[in-house]
Structure 1
Amino acid sequence: MSSSLPNDDKDKAPQPTNGPQMVPAAAPLPSDSDSSKGAAGPSSQHVVGAPPQQVVAPTWSTGLFECFDDIPTLVITAFAPCVTFGQIAEMVDRGQNSCGLYAMLHAGILYFTGCGCLLSAYYRIKMSHLYRLPDDPLINVLVHLICEPCALCQEYRELQARGFNMQLGVGWRNQTPEIQQSGGIGVMVPPKVPGGMSR
Protein backbone atom coordinates (compact mmCIF):
# COMPACT_ATOMS: atom_id res chain seq x y z
CA MET A 1 0.00 0.00 0.00
CA SER A 2 1.48 3.33 -1.02
CA SER A 3 1.43 6.40 1.12
CA SER A 4 -0.57 9.41 -0.03
CA LEU A 5 2.11 11.79 1.25
CA PRO A 6 4.45 13.09 -1.44
CA ASN A 7 7.92 11.61 -1.32
CA ASP A 8 10.49 14.36 -1.84
CA ASP A 9 13.24 11.84 -2.53
CA LYS A 10 11.27 10.39 -5.45
CA ASP A 11 10.78 13.81 -7.01
CA LYS A 12 14.49 14.62 -6.79
CA ALA A 13 15.70 11.29 -8.18
CA PRO A 14 16.67 11.34 -11.87
CA GLN A 15 14.17 9.69 -14.13
CA PRO A 16 15.55 7.03 -16.47
CA THR A 17 15.33 7.97 -20.12
CA ASN A 18 15.75 5.98 -23.27
CA GLY A 19 17.95 7.36 -26.06
CA PRO A 20 20.56 10.12 -26.09
CA GLN A 21 20.44 12.80 -23.47
CA MET A 22 20.44 16.47 -24.41
CA VAL A 23 23.28 18.61 -23.00
CA PRO A 24 22.53 22.32 -22.66
CA ALA A 25 24.47 24.39 -25.19
CA ALA A 26 27.17 26.75 -23.97
CA ALA A 27 26.49 30.45 -24.12
CA PRO A 28 27.65 31.93 -27.45
CA LEU A 29 30.84 33.98 -27.42
CA PRO A 30 30.38 37.70 -28.05
CA SER A 31 31.17 38.86 -31.55
CA ASP A 32 33.08 42.02 -32.38
CA SER A 33 29.81 43.88 -32.80
CA ASP A 34 28.66 42.77 -29.33
CA SER A 35 31.89 43.97 -27.72
CA SER A 36 31.55 47.35 -29.39
CA LYS A 37 28.12 47.77 -27.79
CA GLY A 38 29.68 47.40 -24.37
CA ALA A 39 27.99 44.09 -23.61
CA ALA A 40 30.02 42.27 -21.03
CA GLY A 41 29.00 39.03 -19.49
CA PRO A 42 30.33 35.77 -18.22
CA SER A 43 31.29 34.75 -21.75
CA SER A 44 33.91 37.53 -21.88
CA GLN A 45 36.03 35.77 -19.25
CA HIS A 46 39.27 33.88 -20.03
CA VAL A 47 39.03 30.45 -21.56
CA VAL A 48 39.18 27.78 -18.86
CA GLY A 49 42.47 25.93 -18.90
CA ALA A 50 44.40 28.57 -20.87
CA PRO A 51 46.75 30.76 -18.81
CA PRO A 52 46.20 34.49 -19.28
CA GLN A 53 48.76 36.17 -21.52
CA GLN A 54 51.29 38.18 -19.56
CA VAL A 55 52.41 41.33 -21.30
CA VAL A 56 55.91 42.42 -20.38
CA ALA A 57 56.14 46.18 -20.10
CA PRO A 58 58.88 47.58 -22.32
CA THR A 59 61.82 49.01 -20.44
CA TRP A 60 65.26 50.40 -21.19
CA SER A 61 68.16 48.11 -20.32
CA THR A 62 69.64 50.83 -18.08
CA GLY A 63 68.22 53.77 -16.19
CA LEU A 64 68.36 57.37 -17.33
CA PHE A 65 70.73 58.45 -14.54
CA GLU A 66 73.20 55.56 -14.77
CA CYS A 67 75.59 57.71 -16.78
CA PHE A 68 78.47 57.11 -14.38
CA ASP A 69 78.50 53.42 -15.32
CA ASP A 70 80.27 54.45 -18.53
CA ILE A 71 82.56 57.39 -17.72
CA PRO A 72 84.26 57.74 -21.16
CA THR A 73 80.90 58.05 -22.93
CA LEU A 74 79.69 60.49 -20.29
CA VAL A 75 82.75 62.73 -20.77
CA ILE A 76 82.44 62.69 -24.58
CA THR A 77 78.69 63.37 -24.38
CA ALA A 78 79.09 66.19 -21.85
CA PHE A 79 81.58 68.09 -24.02
CA ALA A 80 80.54 66.97 -27.54
CA PRO A 81 76.97 65.58 -27.57
CA CYS A 82 77.02 65.70 -31.36
CA VAL A 83 79.56 62.82 -31.43
CA THR A 84 77.44 60.49 -29.32
CA PHE A 85 74.33 61.52 -31.24
CA GLY A 86 76.09 60.74 -34.52
CA GLN A 87 76.96 57.23 -33.36
CA ILE A 88 73.38 56.58 -32.20
CA ALA A 89 71.76 57.99 -35.34
CA GLU A 90 74.01 55.93 -37.62
CA MET A 91 72.95 52.70 -35.88
CA VAL A 92 69.27 53.60 -35.72
CA ASP A 93 69.23 54.49 -39.42
CA ARG A 94 71.22 51.32 -40.25
CA GLY A 95 74.12 53.11 -41.85
CA GLN A 96 72.18 55.30 -44.29
CA ASN A 97 74.59 58.12 -43.44
CA SER A 98 77.86 58.25 -41.56
CA CYS A 99 78.36 59.20 -37.93
CA GLY A 100 80.27 62.30 -39.05
CA LEU A 101 77.38 63.60 -41.15
CA TYR A 102 74.89 63.15 -38.30
CA ALA A 103 77.34 64.79 -35.88
CA MET A 104 77.77 67.82 -38.15
CA LEU A 105 74.01 68.12 -38.61
CA HIS A 106 73.47 68.07 -34.83
CA ALA A 107 76.32 70.52 -34.22
CA GLY A 108 74.99 72.90 -36.88
CA ILE A 109 71.47 72.89 -35.44
CA LEU A 110 72.89 73.31 -31.95
CA TYR A 111 75.15 76.21 -33.01
CA PHE A 112 72.61 78.17 -35.05
CA THR A 113 69.41 77.53 -33.08
CA GLY A 114 70.45 76.01 -29.76
CA CYS A 115 67.85 73.26 -30.34
CA GLY A 116 69.99 70.26 -31.21
CA CYS A 117 68.08 68.39 -28.53
CA LEU A 118 64.99 68.34 -30.77
CA LEU A 119 66.86 66.37 -33.44
CA SER A 120 68.20 63.91 -30.86
CA ALA A 121 64.70 63.63 -29.32
CA TYR A 122 63.36 62.66 -32.75
CA TYR A 123 65.91 59.83 -32.91
CA ARG A 124 64.99 58.73 -29.38
CA ILE A 125 61.34 58.44 -30.50
CA LYS A 126 62.45 56.55 -33.62
CA MET A 127 64.58 54.22 -31.50
CA SER A 128 61.68 53.66 -29.09
CA HIS A 129 59.42 52.54 -31.95
CA LEU A 130 62.14 50.36 -33.47
CA TYR A 131 62.98 48.46 -30.28
CA ARG A 132 59.54 48.62 -28.60
CA LEU A 133 60.78 50.76 -25.73
CA PRO A 134 58.57 53.18 -23.76
CA ASP A 135 57.52 55.50 -26.56
CA ASP A 136 55.59 58.40 -25.13
CA PRO A 137 56.75 61.18 -27.50
CA LEU A 138 56.17 63.96 -24.97
CA ILE A 139 58.30 62.22 -22.32
CA ASN A 140 61.05 61.51 -24.85
CA VAL A 141 61.17 65.16 -25.95
CA LEU A 142 61.16 66.39 -22.35
CA VAL A 143 64.01 64.04 -21.44
CA HIS A 144 66.16 65.56 -24.18
CA LEU A 145 65.13 69.13 -23.35
CA ILE A 146 65.92 68.74 -19.64
CA CYS A 147 68.94 66.43 -19.70
CA GLU A 148 70.20 65.62 -23.17
CA PRO A 149 73.55 64.13 -22.06
CA CYS A 150 71.79 61.59 -19.81
CA ALA A 151 69.35 60.68 -22.59
CA LEU A 152 72.12 60.23 -25.15
CA CYS A 153 74.16 58.09 -22.75
CA GLN A 154 71.12 55.90 -22.06
CA GLU A 155 70.49 55.39 -25.79
CA TYR A 156 74.17 54.60 -26.33
CA ARG A 157 74.08 51.96 -23.55
CA GLU A 158 70.86 50.50 -24.96
CA LEU A 159 72.50 49.92 -28.34
CA GLN A 160 75.52 48.36 -26.61
CA ALA A 161 73.20 46.02 -24.68
CA ARG A 162 71.64 44.96 -27.98
CA GLY A 163 75.01 43.84 -29.33
CA PHE A 164 76.22 46.89 -31.23
CA ASN A 165 79.93 47.73 -31.14
CA MET A 166 79.66 51.41 -30.25
CA GLN A 167 83.37 52.25 -30.20
CA LEU A 168 84.17 55.44 -32.03
CA GLY A 169 85.21 54.77 -35.62
CA VAL A 170 83.59 51.33 -35.92
CA GLY A 171 80.34 52.47 -37.53
CA TRP A 172 77.56 50.47 -39.12
CA ARG A 173 79.70 48.87 -41.83
CA ASN A 174 81.99 47.16 -39.32
CA GLN A 175 79.21 45.62 -37.21
CA THR A 176 78.80 41.84 -37.15
CA PRO A 177 76.64 40.30 -39.91
CA GLU A 178 74.09 39.22 -37.30
CA ILE A 179 73.66 42.79 -36.08
CA GLN A 180 73.49 44.13 -39.63
CA GLN A 181 70.75 41.64 -40.53
CA SER A 182 68.65 42.07 -37.41
CA GLY A 183 69.53 45.68 -36.58
CA GLY A 184 69.45 44.65 -32.92
CA ILE A 185 65.71 43.94 -33.18
CA GLY A 186 64.65 40.84 -31.31
CA VAL A 187 67.83 40.71 -29.27
CA MET A 188 66.89 39.75 -25.74
CA VAL A 189 68.34 42.23 -23.31
CA PRO A 190 68.82 40.57 -19.92
CA PRO A 191 66.60 42.17 -17.28
CA LYS A 192 68.25 44.11 -14.50
CA VAL A 193 68.23 42.40 -11.13
CA PRO A 194 67.93 44.99 -8.37
CA GLY A 195 70.36 44.79 -5.49
CA GLY A 196 72.62 42.00 -6.73
CA MET A 197 73.67 38.94 -4.75
CA SER A 198 74.21 39.11 -1.03
CA ARG A 199 74.75 36.62 1.78
Structure 2
Amino acid sequence: MASPDSGQWTTGLFDCFDDSSNCFMTWCCPFITFGRNVEIIDKGKTSPADAARTYYILGSFGFAFCYSYPYRKKLREQFSLKEQPCGDCLVHCCCIQCALCQEHRELINRGLDPTIGWAANVARMIQNEKVAPEVETGMNRVAP
Protein backbone atom coordinates (compact mmCIF):
# COMPACT_ATOMS: atom_id res chain seq x y z
CA MET A 1 0.00 0.00 0.00
CA ALA A 2 1.40 3.37 -1.00
CA SER A 3 1.78 5.92 1.75
CA PRO A 4 -0.65 8.83 1.30
CA ASP A 5 0.76 12.30 0.83
CA SER A 6 1.54 14.10 4.04
CA GLY A 7 -0.62 17.13 4.60
CA GLN A 8 -3.59 15.85 2.60
CA TRP A 9 -6.62 13.93 3.82
CA THR A 10 -7.09 10.76 1.76
CA THR A 11 -10.87 11.30 1.57
CA GLY A 12 -13.22 14.22 1.90
CA LEU A 13 -15.39 15.06 4.88
CA PHE A 14 -18.58 14.13 3.03
CA ASP A 15 -17.29 10.90 1.43
CA CYS A 16 -19.05 8.86 4.11
CA PHE A 17 -20.46 6.33 1.65
CA ASP A 18 -16.95 5.34 0.54
CA ASP A 19 -17.20 2.90 3.46
CA SER A 20 -20.93 2.23 3.73
CA SER A 21 -20.68 -0.24 6.62
CA ASN A 22 -18.77 2.26 8.76
CA CYS A 23 -21.16 5.02 7.66
CA PHE A 24 -24.12 2.96 8.88
CA MET A 25 -22.37 2.08 12.15
CA THR A 26 -21.42 5.70 12.78
CA TRP A 27 -24.89 7.00 11.97
CA CYS A 28 -26.51 4.54 14.40
CA CYS A 29 -23.82 4.36 17.09
CA PRO A 30 -21.24 7.12 16.69
CA PHE A 31 -19.79 6.34 20.11
CA ILE A 32 -18.57 2.94 18.82
CA THR A 33 -16.70 4.46 15.88
CA PHE A 34 -15.33 7.16 18.14
CA GLY A 35 -14.09 4.62 20.71
CA ARG A 36 -12.36 2.56 18.04
CA ASN A 37 -10.72 5.62 16.48
CA VAL A 38 -9.52 6.90 19.86
CA GLU A 39 -7.83 3.62 20.73
CA ILE A 40 -5.76 3.86 17.54
CA ILE A 41 -5.11 7.60 17.77
CA ASP A 42 -3.99 7.20 21.41
CA LYS A 43 -1.89 4.15 20.49
CA GLY A 44 -3.71 1.90 22.94
CA LYS A 45 -3.52 4.23 25.96
CA THR A 46 -7.29 4.84 25.99
CA SER A 47 -9.63 1.86 25.82
CA PRO A 48 -12.39 2.05 23.22
CA ALA A 49 -14.98 1.27 25.90
CA ASP A 50 -13.88 4.20 28.09
CA ALA A 51 -13.82 6.62 25.16
CA ALA A 52 -17.20 5.39 23.89
CA ARG A 53 -18.78 5.66 27.33
CA THR A 54 -17.55 9.22 27.85
CA TYR A 55 -18.68 10.19 24.34
CA TYR A 56 -22.10 8.64 24.94
CA ILE A 57 -22.60 10.43 28.26
CA LEU A 58 -21.52 13.81 26.89
CA GLY A 59 -23.55 13.19 23.74
CA SER A 60 -26.66 12.74 25.89
CA PHE A 61 -26.29 16.41 26.82
CA GLY A 62 -25.25 17.56 23.33
CA PHE A 63 -21.57 18.01 24.18
CA ALA A 64 -19.92 15.00 22.54
CA PHE A 65 -18.03 17.30 20.16
CA CYS A 66 -16.23 18.89 23.13
CA TYR A 67 -14.64 15.51 23.82
CA SER A 68 -14.21 14.34 20.23
CA TYR A 69 -12.63 17.27 18.40
CA PRO A 70 -9.29 17.14 20.28
CA TYR A 71 -8.80 13.63 18.87
CA ARG A 72 -9.27 14.97 15.35
CA LYS A 73 -6.54 17.47 16.10
CA LYS A 74 -4.31 14.70 17.46
CA LEU A 75 -4.92 12.60 14.32
CA ARG A 76 -4.09 15.58 12.12
CA GLU A 77 -0.86 16.17 14.03
CA GLN A 78 0.19 12.51 13.74
CA PHE A 79 -0.16 12.60 9.95
CA SER A 80 0.58 16.33 9.35
CA LEU A 81 -2.92 16.90 7.95
CA LYS A 82 -4.40 20.29 7.23
CA GLU A 83 -7.31 21.60 9.27
CA GLN A 84 -9.97 21.21 6.58
CA PRO A 85 -12.57 22.30 5.59
CA CYS A 86 -12.59 24.46 8.73
CA GLY A 87 -11.49 24.23 12.38
CA ASP A 88 -11.64 20.86 14.14
CA CYS A 89 -14.11 22.05 16.75
CA LEU A 90 -16.49 23.41 14.11
CA VAL A 91 -16.24 20.23 12.01
CA HIS A 92 -17.15 18.11 15.03
CA CYS A 93 -19.83 20.53 16.21
CA CYS A 94 -21.62 20.68 12.84
CA CYS A 95 -20.86 17.32 11.19
CA ILE A 96 -19.77 14.91 13.91
CA GLN A 97 -20.79 11.70 12.13
CA CYS A 98 -19.09 12.82 8.91
CA ALA A 99 -15.95 13.74 10.87
CA LEU A 100 -15.83 10.38 12.65
CA CYS A 101 -16.28 8.53 9.34
CA GLN A 102 -13.53 10.57 7.70
CA GLU A 103 -11.16 9.92 10.62
CA HIS A 104 -11.94 6.19 10.46
CA ARG A 105 -11.23 6.12 6.70
CA GLU A 106 -8.01 8.08 7.23
CA LEU A 107 -6.75 5.50 9.71
CA ILE A 108 -7.69 2.67 7.34
CA ASN A 109 -6.02 4.39 4.37
CA ARG A 110 -2.85 4.83 6.40
CA GLY A 111 -2.69 1.14 7.27
CA LEU A 112 -4.39 1.12 10.68
CA ASP A 113 -7.68 -0.73 11.17
CA PRO A 114 -9.70 0.67 14.10
CA THR A 115 -12.05 -2.34 14.05
CA ILE A 116 -9.32 -4.76 15.21
CA GLY A 117 -7.85 -2.60 17.98
CA TRP A 118 -4.39 -1.28 18.75
CA ALA A 119 -2.78 -4.57 19.86
CA ALA A 120 -3.82 -6.36 16.65
CA ASN A 121 -2.55 -3.45 14.53
CA VAL A 122 0.81 -3.57 16.30
CA ALA A 123 0.99 -7.34 15.79
CA ARG A 124 0.18 -6.86 12.11
CA MET A 125 2.89 -4.19 11.75
CA ILE A 126 5.46 -6.46 13.42
CA GLN A 127 4.43 -9.36 11.19
CA ASN A 128 4.77 -7.17 8.08
CA GLU A 129 8.31 -6.20 9.14
CA LYS A 130 9.31 -9.86 9.53
CA VAL A 131 8.13 -10.90 6.08
CA ALA A 132 11.10 -11.56 3.82
CA PRO A 133 10.98 -10.15 0.30
CA GLU A 134 9.88 -12.54 -2.42
CA VAL A 135 12.68 -14.08 -4.43
CA GLU A 136 12.25 -15.65 -7.83
CA THR A 137 12.94 -19.36 -7.85
CA GLY A 138 14.72 -21.31 -10.53
CA MET A 139 17.36 -20.32 -12.97
CA ASN A 140 15.95 -17.63 -15.20
CA ARG A 141 19.19 -16.26 -16.54
CA VAL A 142 19.65 -16.54 -20.29
CA ALA A 143 23.12 -17.53 -21.45
CA PRO A 144 24.80 -15.20 -23.99
- Percent identity between the aligned chains? 35
Matches of 1:146 and 1:97, distance apart in 2: 25
Which residues in structure 2 correspond to 1:117-156 (within 5 Å)?
117-135=65-83, 139-156=87-104
Give the Å deviation of 1:152: 0.4
- Residue 116 to residue 179, structure 1, CA distance change in 2 (3 Å): farther
Matches of 1:171 and 1:92, distance apart in 2: 11
Letter in 2 for 1:89: V
Give the Å deviation of 1:178: 6.3
Rg: which structure is higher? Answer: 1
Which secondary structure does the structure 1 equivalent of 2:111 belong to?
coil
Unaligned runs of 5+ in 2: 127-144
Give the Å deviation of 1:129: 1.1
Higher relative contact order (CA 8 A, sep 6+): 2
Which secondary structure does the structure 2 equivalent of 1:134 belong to?
coil
Contact 2:39 2:114 in 1 (8 A): no
Structure number having the greater helix percentage: 2
Which secondary structure does the structure 1 equivalent of 2:9 belong to?
coil
Q: Deviations over 1:89-126 (max 9, x none)?
A: 10010001221111011101111x31101211110011
Give the Å deviation of 1:166: 2.6
Unaligned runs of 5+ in 1: 1-55, 181-199
2:15 is equivalent to residue 66 of structure 1? yes
Stretches of 4+ aligned residues off by more than 4 angstroms: none
Letter in 2 for 1:116: A
2:44 is equivalent to residue 98 of structure 1? no
Aligned residues, how many? 121
Alignment root-mean-square deviation, CA: 1.9
Matches of 2:21 and 2:6, distance apart in 1: 30
Partner of 2:137: none
Give the Å deviation of 1:57: 7.1
